[in-house]
Amino acid sequence: MRGVTKHNGGMFSSAVGRFRLLALAEAVSWAGLLIGMFFKYVVVENEIGVKIFGPVHGAIFVGYVLVTLMLADRWDRKTLILGLVASIPPFGTVVFERWANRTGRLDEAQTAKD
């Protein structure tokens, strides 16, 4: 399974695993919040979706920012800033995670760059 480390503990045992999980969760919570906003403002004027997904998205967003900052010692400043900025637009975290993975920035053996 992609993103699961080979040692005991799986995704949660490394900063990279937590980053990958929270990048996906942040995008999913964005989708939930956008759907909730659509129902609140367009369809039925019921805000239950926003009341549920607003705090969920907020908590996951904070977790994503924190785990991204945990990877600061692996990444150069530009990559770190891109990772943080990716949390703002909907689904940006998934796009950034895929790019970071493709370019080797999420390799477990990666060391800090100058």
Reported as a single tens digit per residue, the pLDDT across 73-97 is: 999 999 999 999 999 999 999 999 9
- The 10s digit of each residue's pLDDT in 9-33 is 566 678 899 999 999 999 999 999 8
Its sign, for the CA torsion 29, 30, 31, 34, is: positive
pLDDT digits (tens, 9 = 90+) for 47-58: 887 888 899 999
Q: Which candidate, 48, 14, 11, places its Cα nearest to that of 33?
A: 48
Q: Give the confidence band of 5 by pLDDT, cuts at 50, 70, 90.
A: very low
